[in-house]
Structure 1
Amino acid sequence: MHQRRTTTYGKLVRDRIPEIIEAEGLTAGVRVLDEREVVPALVAKLAEEAEELRQAGPDDRLGELADLHEVLAALAGALGFSDEQVREAARRKRTERGGFGRRLWLDEVTSPGESDG
C-alpha cells in the first residue's frame, strides 16, 4: 500500500492546471483568490516566470516568454488596463526614454567634484 504524499505549492497556476493534475489521478486542492489577493499573486507569478526565463536554455525561451506574456496580460487586466493602454504607455516611454535596442549597460555615474568645473 502506498503512503499518501502531499506537496504544497501556494502559488497561482493557469486555469487548466487542476484538471491536468486530476487527469493524472491526483487530487488538486485549489481555491479562487479574492480581489485583494489577485494582484500580489500575479506579481509573485511574474517574478517566478522571469526567473524561469533567466534559467531557461535556448530551446525553452519562447515558452517562458509566452508564460511571462500571459501573466502580464492577466496583471494588466486585474489592474484595470487594456492591452492597448499598456502598448500605448510602452510607446510613450520608448519615445521619452528609449527602448532597449541599443543594449546599453550602465556601469556607473560620477558626479562632479567640488574642484571640477
Structure 2
Amino acid sequence: MTREYDKLVRDRIPEVVREDDETPVTHRVDGEAYRDRLADKLLEEATEYAESRAVEELADVLEVVAAIREARDVSSEELEAIRAEKAAERGGFTDGVVLERVEE
C-alpha cells in the first residue's frame, strides 16, 4: 500500500519509516524551495495546534519557527528583539482584545 505525502518532514522520519519495515521515497530541497516548504509546514503545524490545542503541536510550531529562522540566517536574539520591539509598539496578545470593527 502506498501513501502519498509530498511534505517536509523531520530529518529522522525516513529512519523511523524504515524501522517500521516500510520504504520511504524522499528527496531534498534547498534554497527558496526549502523556505517555501517551511512556510507550508508552519501553516500545517499551526493548524494542528489550533485544532487540538496540544502542547506537543505547539512544540512542533516552535521547531518549524527555529528552522525558518536558521534558513533566513536570523539569530534567536535578533528574532526576539524584533518580537519585543513589536510588542512594545503595538502590545502583545495577553489581554484578549478582540477588534470587532472600526467605525468612521
Q: Which residue is equivalent to 1:114?
A: none
Aligned to 1:106, the other structure's residue is in SS state: coil
Identity in percent: 38
Q: Which residue is equivalent to 1:80?
A: 73
Aligned mates of 2:32, 2:39 — CA distance in 1: 13
Q: Which residue is equivalent to 1:8?
A: 4
Give RMSD over aligned pairs: 0.8
Q: Which residue is equivalent to 1:115?
A: none
Report how many aligned residue pairs link the two structures: 104
Q: Which amino acid aligns with 2:32?
A: R
1:89 to 67, 75, 82: 82
| Runs of 4+ with >4 A deviation | none
Aligned mates of 1:82, 1:13 — CA distance in 2: 23
Q: Which amino acid aligns with 2:86?
A: K
Q: Which residue is equivalent to 2:41?
A: 45
Kindly state the Cα deviation for residue 85 of structure 1 after the two structures are TM-superposed.
0.7
TM-score of the aligned structures, taking structure 2 as reference length: 0.96
TM-score of the aligned structures, taking structure 1 as reference length: 0.86
Show structure 1 runs of 5+ residues with no match.
112-117
**Larger of the two Rg values belongs to structure:** 1
Aligned mates of 2:36, 2:28 — CA distance in 1: 14
Instruction: Check if 1:66 corresponds to 2:59.
Output: yes
